[in-house]
Amino acid sequence: MELRHVRYFLAVVDAGSVTAASPLVHVTQPSLSRQLRLFERGLGITLFTRTGGRLVLSAAGRQFVPVARDLARRAQAAAEAAATLAAGRLQHIRIAAPGTTLTDILAPFLATLHPDDPLPAVSEEPPQLIYEALQSGADLAISTEQPPAGLAFQPLAVLPIWAYVPGGHRWAAQDSVTVAELVNERLLLLTGDYSPRRVLDHWVDQAGLTYSWMLEFGTPQVAQAVAAAGRGIAVVSDDARFDLHPLDIIGAGGPMHIRLYAAWDREHHAATAIGAVARRLSDYCIERYGPQVAPQLPGTKKPSAPLP
């Protein structure tokens, strides 16, 4: 079956006759009639009955029309996709991100997209599986983990890890707290799947300290909610909720933080376009949180102004 025959058939169906369809498909009337007969012979069915010089759809022809239209649509979609691939453009972009990043950074960024930007689709993935999503259909992966070798990547931001306390807490008037002070409190921590927890564990171990009391949560928003109820101090990296007060956590190396990366397959047909989206996302992070979150370049000093 040739696609041109499918198009010829649909042209005759829509135009009502070979004569009317001929100029639409740029084929002479005798040639178009001959091509239709070849099409019927190849299919093994009669698509038209010929009565008094007129073509009328047969019962089989009527049933074949929706099949032919579906074939034509798919062929057109394939041609458009091929043109997009050849030009290195993106019509759609699939992004994988952990929940906190999706809620606090990615969703607000997507609200700034322009009508001619790729249409985004987003999937929430467990933090430890983010980069694997690039093997199963994602175009761009956002993670707090250093991208594995072989991927193209863009550092997005250096974000603080906060200790959140309610307004009535004795630390509510402070801007920071040390790791040594923090471990003696009732702590509401994320599970080990989350980077803020792994970073905090590392700093606590490095200082030779231990937690006096802690409760684990699989969702940072719930940890904040419990902190707002006065049941402990939530240690997370997401934006403040429930009118909680954020404190920088200070260790031997300065304020505790995580690094955020965007990564993609360097062999992707639209790698350049994906990289441009990643750079715009980095710019958005800096605009949203301030210049102090900008990824530090070699030989530069990170701004020390506090985050809002």
Query: Tens digit of pLDDT for each residue in 5-64?
Result: 888 888 888 888 888 888 888 889 889 888 888 888 888 889 888 877 678 888 988 899
Average pLDDT, the chain: 86
- Among 49, 28, 268, residue whose Cα is nearest residue 137: 268
The verdict on residue 177 lying in a domain is yes
Structural domain includes residue 301: no
Boundaries of domain holding 113: 92-156+260-293
175 with 225, same domain: the answer is: yes
137: left (phi over 0), alpha (psi -120 to 50) or beta: left
When pLDDT is averaged across residues 210-235 and rounded to a whole number, the result is 94
Report DSSP state, residue 106.
I
88 pLDDT band, cuts 50/70/90, is low
How far from the centroid of its chain's Cα atoms is residue 6's Cα? Answer: 37
pLDDT for residue 278: 93
pLDDT of the residue at 178: 95
Render the burial of 250-285: b for 16+ CB within 10 Å, e for the rest: bbeeebbbbbbbbbbbeebbbeebbbebbeebbebb
- 227 and 171 assigned to the same domain: yes
Quick one: 178 and 105 in the same domain?
Answer: no
Total-model pTM = 0.64
The answer to whether 147 and 131 are in contact (CB under 8 A) is yes
Q: Are residues 123 and 240 in the same domain?
A: no
Considering the domain architecture, whether residues 265 and 248 belong to the same structural domain is answered as: no
What pLDDT was estimated at residue 82?
A: 65
Shared domain for 250 and 284, answered yes or no, is no
If asked whether residues 104 and 139 sit together in one domain, one would say: yes
Q: Is residue 304 part of a domain?
A: no
Query: Does 209 score more than 90 pLDDT?
Result: yes
Q: Which residue has the higher pLDDT, 251 or 183?
A: 183
The single-letter DSSP state of residue 231 is S
Q: Are residues 129 and 53 in the same domain?
A: no
In a domain, 298, yes or no: no
* Predicted pLDDT of residue 80: 63
pLDDT at position 180 is: 94
Mean pLDDT of all residues in 156-169: 93
Average pLDDT over residues 204-209: 92
Count the domains in the chain: 3
- Tell whether the model's pLDDT for residue 293 goes beyond 70: yes
The residue among 69 and 296 whose pLDDT is bigger is 69
Both 149 and 280 in a single domain? yes
Task: Give residue 189's pLDDT.
Answer: 96
Q: What CATH number corresponds to the domain at position 283?
A: 3.40.190.10
Q: Are residues 112 and 70 in the same domain?
A: no
Tokens of 191: 């599970």
Residue 299 resides in a domain: no
